[in-house]
Amino acid sequence: MKIVYVDNNATTKVDPEVLEEMLPYFSEFYGNPSSMHSFGGETGKKIKEAREKVAGLIHAQPEEIIFTSCGTESDNTAILSALKTNPGKKHIITSRVEHPAVKNLCKNLSENGYRVTFVPVDEKGRLDLDMLLGSVTDDTAIVSIMWANNETGVVFPIEEIAENLAEKKVIFHTDAVQAVGKIHIDLSKTKIDMLALSGHKLHAPKGVGALYVRKGTRFSPFLNGGHQEKGRRGGTENVASIVGLGKACELARTYIEKENTEVSALRDKLERELLKKIPLSIVNGETINRLPGTTNISFEYIEGEAILLMMNELGICASSGSACTSGSLEPSHVLRAMGVPYTAAHGSIRFSLGRYNTESDVDYIIDKLPPIIQKLREMSPFWQNRDRK
Ligand code: PLP
């Protein structure tokens, strides 16, 4: 069956060049980078090279990069480090639309002695900047705001926020897991203190990530152990995956142009044609400051899960904006924060395109999806009763 993969915000295919670069580090060069012998030193050299490549993509210094096991670990490390190095401060600021990697940690902290401000967004998914900046107090230990939203693709004005927070001398962390490799990031020009990224969102393998910690930022490790990562993250390095992340970052520098021209053009075509062919379909989130490959569309009066299942039968892989939690279908916290009406939030689908998508993928979805929506609506009591008050 033809597979049309448009779920790149969930995870991406490992680039063949990344895989090729990784393979020798499973078999040929398996030494421990901390060993004194030169066999281990070979892997140490390769980690150094990977660190330079990751730093290169975001215009950081290599020593500002700490390798981790994933984006979630990077996010947790950043926030917990800020709290540990500011023991007197008990206030955290984040947004209402963060990924669970930040949202659930903050929720947990709010139940354990910390006060958390969850800054709202408007109906287009845009952050309330005045409220964010107005919430900062002397008690604020950290502000953590995502660079780009994983569900809608909406990009927040992170450089502007960083600038404002630097004046207030508050630690600023950004979850840039969805942004890195898709939009230009130049940390040499911003005042961001910490930034999280994840390998599997940019064509490296799952289970590897990195945390950028700006030189001079006070830091406390999350994993205490050996002296790896200069004592900032204990645990023997996942050498092959780190090598893969380095290669993926090197490649991302060459592909970022394509993301912002070809991938965004494919996304625009998909969005335009679906909106044209399917009545009562709405794009969730603003369409100006948005990741190049993402569109989140609500097809009113039907369930996203049903759409996904029917698309799945035809080999189309996407995501829905609702999650089946404890038996009840709850719309996503992101769409709820945006105030998307119930009838639309339930039928939302996220299409996230990447560099492997083609025009024929997009044409396939444009051809197959409208009849699916029509069929589901014919079966939907909500659709049949939509005009009744
Ligand atoms: N932050 C965002 C915005 C994400 O989209 C994701 C993954 O979906 C994460 C954090 C977590 O990354 P990882 O899967 O590497 O833990």
| pLDDT tens series, the chain, 389 aa | 889 999 999 999 999 999 999 999 999 999 999 999 999 999 999 999 999 999 999 999 999 999 999 999 999 999 999 999 999 999 999 999 999 999 999 999 999 999 999 999 999 999 999 999 999 999 999 999 999 999 999 999 999 999 999 989 899 999 999 999 999 999 999 999 999 999 999 999 999 999 999 999 999 999 999 999 999 999 999 999 999 999 999 999 999 999 999 999 999 999 999 999 999 999 999 999 999 999 999 999 999 999 999 999 999 999 997 554 444 567 899 999 999 998 899 999 999 999 999 999 999 999 999 999 999 999 988 788 887 65
- For ligand 1, the distance from its centroid to the CA atom of residue 196, given in whole angstroms, is 9
**CATH code of the domain covering residue 309:** 3.90.1150.10
Nearest atom of ligand 1 to the alpha carbon of 150? 5
Contact residues of ligand 1, CB 6 A cut-off: 70-72, 75, 99, 101, 146, 150, 175, 177-178, 198, 200, 209
- For ligand 1, the distance from its centroid to the CA atom of residue 74, given in whole angstroms, is 10
Determine the Cα–Cα distance for residues 24 and 21; give it in Å rounded to an integer.
7
Pocket test for ligand 1, best of 150, 156, 291 (most atoms within 8 A of CB): 150
Same-domain check for residues 209 and 287: no
Query: Which among 118, 88, 119, 86 has a CA at the least distance from the CA of 105?
Result: 118
Q: What is the pTM of this model?
A: 0.97
Residue 102 located in a structural domain:
yes
Determine the Cα–Cα distance for residues 69 and 73; give it in Å rounded to an integer.
6
Same-domain check for residues 284 and 243: no
Nearest atom of ligand 1 to the alpha carbon of 72? 16
Same-domain check for residues 245 and 260: no
Which residue, judged by its Cα, is nearest atom 5 of ligand 1?
150
Residue 326: the pLDDT is 42
Residue 330: the pLDDT is 78
Residue 141 located in a structural domain:
yes
Element (H, E) at 120: none
Q: What are the residues facing 43 on neighbouring strands?
A: none
Same-domain check for residues 219 and 307: no
Residue 329: the pLDDT is 67
Same-domain check for residues 271 and 241: no
- For ligand 1, the distance from its centroid to the CA atom of residue 329, given in whole angstroms, is 22
Residue 325: the pLDDT is 44
Nearest atom of ligand 1 to the alpha carbon of 10? 8
Number of H helices, E strands in the chain: 14, 15
Residue 370 located in a structural domain:
yes
Determine the Cα–Cα distance for residues 152 and 296; give it in Å rounded to an integer.
5
**Domain extent for 43:** 16-251
User: What is the number of domains present in the chain?
Assistant: 2
Residue 371: the pLDDT is 98
Q: Any alpha helices (H) in 95-238, and if so which ranges?
A: 100-110, 129-135, 158-168
Element (H, E) at 219: none
- Domain limit, last residue, from 201, 235, 251: 251
- Domain limit, last residue, from 230, 251, 272: 251
Residue 384: the pLDDT is 81
Same-domain check for residues 190 and 281: no
Which residue, judged by its Cα, is nearest atom 10 of ligand 1?
71
With contact defined as beta carbons under 8 Å apart, do 98 and 106 qualify? yes
**CATH code of the domain covering residue 196:** 3.40.640.10
Same-domain check for residues 287 and 271: yes
Same-domain check for residues 102 and 125: yes
Same-domain check for residues 266 and 245: no
Determine the Cα–Cα distance for residues 212 and 51; give it in Å rounded to an integer.
11
Residue 84 located in a structural domain:
yes
Residue 78 located in a structural domain:
yes
Contacts for 309 with CB less than 8 Å, ≥ 6 apart: none
- For ligand 1, the distance from its centroid to the CA atom of residue 230, given in whole angstroms, is 25
- For ligand 1, the distance from its centroid to the CA atom of residue 130, given in whole angstroms, is 27
Residue 95 located in a structural domain:
yes
Q: 324 an active-site residue?
A: yes
The 10 Å CB-count burial string (b at 16+, else e) for 365-389 is bbebbbebbeebbeebeebeeeeee
Residue 388 located in a structural domain:
no
- Domain limit, last residue, from 251, 272, 287: 251
Same-domain check for residues 220 and 302: no
Residue 85 located in a structural domain:
yes
Same-domain check for residues 273 and 224: no
Same-domain check for residues 121 and 239: yes
Nearest atom of ligand 1 to the alpha carbon of 98? 3
Which residue, judged by its Cα, is nearest atom 9 of ligand 1?
71
Task: Give the Cβ contact number of residue 192 at 10 Å.
Answer: 26
